[in-house]
């Protein structure tokens, strides 16, 4: 039985599972809940504290579960509620908390709520979605754009109005300005909390409210479009999304959501989808102890490789916005190109970035396969399933390259994922990186991740302590973690030897299992991708 700790989430390592691609237990080529249950030993052995499972709710699967048609049931593709209950019981038995992905900003267009809402303008759920009259010339009510391309408005002939969709046209946005909608969504959270979940990952948390006056978004200067939550070929990058998301009314709803979590000692991590103000919004949503506990911004999910200078800037911005804010850092997830490919990292660099991650203040998300150093899978157009990638092919290949099946063994064309042809192919370069191939290989990325997570757990100051003196000196990022003990961390994020100066005092090298290098005379010479970890004595 897990301890009833209201702060279990603080500094926790959360392992993200994309259920379609983790383990197929019934031979249909699609991963499922029973398959996840069968593989939980791997996650517990890795040293994670919790799992986050991407959506498994009933859905037409036009956006692979992020278009929900029933929030309170399991899609038959993934199993049943009984399978989910068994998963929770097994996870808890292994000491793993269970977080599930809640998509509260929109539903599927076949959700009963929307089917009733679109019937006419007078029904009981007429105001449950964002509807708007056309302009006099029949065009959409404003200039808002969809993340998936084109207008964020879709015409509906029954109501003779447009409805808002920030993503696919089949994903209409809920109207959280309407109190009954908020109440219904909070009831969804209660349903799963009563089934034993320990928390939620909140999809697109900053999209919950749109400007009630439907004002046009201003344009975004071209020089500011480099980093975005959308690919460069997407016109979504041409706007500053001032009114279509990030609205102040969200703060009060998040307080209501937190009040639902509190009796269950549950926690939430929100996805802040904003390239310009992600850190500041994260700070706003997690500060004060009365909203969500954690958010992850996109600063470490960007195409640009994380450098020492970018890390220093991120923590400085966060400190200015709210010193008590709590981030949840991640390098990869199901929506981004895997960071091994995105940042062009070899095995040594991958290990160094893993070491840096476990030393940061905040909680952490690891994406399935990250612990194997998996690169992005290279798929052809005919292999794609993601509508986002199909829309913008070939300049943007979508998200499927990060969603291919987990590779468990090498001597099987499907990597041990399924006895049938998988829904996305297992690519040959992934097979030599399987769990079986790397297990007990002292030099492997997998064993490094195991050692890194064990190191974080052995030093609680890395989970909850202060992070001080954050500096970028060329390619070297350095800082101190301070609490019951004091640890100095220096990481060379470059391909050339560099030096790191230790703070004054007596320091003893630790973390030799992570390749920590010794210091002489208060200085450490760090080879390419080298690290120095030391404890004040």
Sign of CA dihedral 165, 168, 170, 174: negative
Rounded distance, CA 167 to CA 156, Å? 16
Tokens for 442? Answer: 């002292």
Which among 75, 83, 211, 271 is annotated as catalytic?
Answer: 271
Radius of gyration for the alpha carbons in the chain, expressed in angstroms and rounded: 23
Q: How many CB atoms lie within 10 A of CB 318?
A: 22
What whole-number distance in Å separates Cα of residue 123 and Cα of residue 126?
5
Number of H-type helices and E-type strands within the chain: 14, 20
And the tokens for 130?
A: 């964002």
Catalytic residue check, 203: yes
Of 154, 203, 211, 274, the active-site residue reads 203
User: Which among 202, 188, 210 has a CA at the least distance from the CA of 291?
Assistant: 202
Q: Closest Cα partner for 20 from 400, 436, 440?
A: 400
Kindly give the interhelix angle for 278-286 and 308-321, rounded to the nearest 10 degrees. Answer: 40
Q: What end-to-end distance do the CA atoms of the chain give, in Å? A: 37
480 closest CA partner among 454, 500, 496: 500
| Residues linked to residue 329 through DSSP beta bridges, in sequence order | 364
**Active-site residue set:** 203, 271
């Amino acid at each position: 039985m897990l301890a009833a700790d209201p702060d279990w989430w603080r500094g926790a390592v959360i392992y993200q599972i994309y259920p379609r691609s983790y383990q197929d237990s019934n031979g249909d080529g699609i991963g499922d809940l029973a398959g996840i249950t069968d593989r939980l030993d791997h996650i517990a052995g890795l040293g994670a504290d919790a799992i986050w499972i991407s959506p498994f709710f009933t859905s037409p699967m036009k956006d692979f579960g992020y278009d929900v048609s029933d929030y309170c049931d399991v899609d038959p593709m993934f199993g049943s509620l009984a399978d989910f209950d068994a998963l929770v019981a097994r996870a808890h038995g292994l000491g793993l908390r269970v977080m599930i992905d809640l998509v509260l900003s929109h539903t599927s267009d076949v959700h009963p709520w929307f089917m009733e809402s679109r019937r006419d303008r007078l029904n009981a759920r007429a105001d449950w979605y964002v509807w708007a009259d056309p302009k006099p010339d029949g065009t959409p009510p404003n200039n808002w754009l969809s993340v998936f391309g084109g207008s964020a408005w879709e015409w509906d002939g029954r109501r003779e109005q447009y409805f808002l969709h920030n993503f696919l046209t089949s994903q209409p946005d809920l109207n959280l300005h309407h109190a009954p909608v908020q109440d219904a969504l909070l009831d969804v959270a209660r349903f799963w909390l009563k089934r034993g979940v320990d928390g939620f990952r909140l999809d697109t948390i900053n999209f919950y409210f749109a400007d009630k006056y439907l004002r046009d978004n201003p344009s975004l200067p071209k020089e500011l479009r480099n980093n975005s939550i959308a690919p460069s070929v997407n016109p979504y990058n041409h706007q500053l999304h001032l009114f279509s998301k990030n609205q102040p009314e969200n703060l009060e709803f998040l307080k209501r959501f937190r009040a639902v979590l509190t009796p269950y000692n549950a926690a939430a991590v929100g996805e802040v989808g904003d390239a310009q103000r992600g850190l500041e919004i994260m700070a706003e949503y997690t500060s004060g102890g009365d909203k969500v506990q954690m958010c992850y911004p996109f600063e470490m999910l960007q195409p640009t490789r994380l450098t020492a200078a970018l890390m220093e800037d991120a923590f400085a911005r966060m400190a200015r916005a709210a010193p008590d804010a709590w981030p949840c850092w991640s390098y990869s997830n199901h929506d981004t190109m895997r960071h091994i490919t995105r940042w062009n990292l070899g095995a040594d660099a991958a290990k160094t970035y893993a070491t840096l991650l476990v030393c940061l203040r905040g909680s952490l998300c690891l994406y399935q396969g990250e612990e194997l150093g998996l690169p992005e899978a290279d798929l052809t157009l005919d292999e794609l399933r993601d509508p986002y990638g199909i829309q913008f092919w070939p300049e943007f290949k979508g998200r499927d390259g990060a969603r291919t099946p987990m590779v468990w063994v090498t001597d099987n064309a499907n990597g041990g994922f399924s006895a049938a042809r998988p829904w996305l192919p297992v690519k040959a370069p992934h097979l030599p990186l399987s769990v079986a191939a790397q297990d007990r290989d002292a030099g492997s990325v997998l064993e490094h991740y195991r050692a890194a997570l064990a190191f974080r757990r052995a030093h609680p100051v890395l989970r909850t302590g202060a992070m001080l003196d954050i500096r970028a000196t060329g390619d070297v990022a350095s800082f101190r973690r301070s609490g019951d003990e004091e640890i100095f961390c220096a990481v060379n994020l470059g391909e050339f030897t560099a030096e790191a100066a230790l703070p004054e005092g007596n320091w003893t090298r630790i973390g030799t299992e992570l390749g920590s290098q010794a210091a002489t005379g208060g200085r450490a010479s760090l080879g390419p991708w080298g690290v120095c970890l030391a404890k004040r004595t």
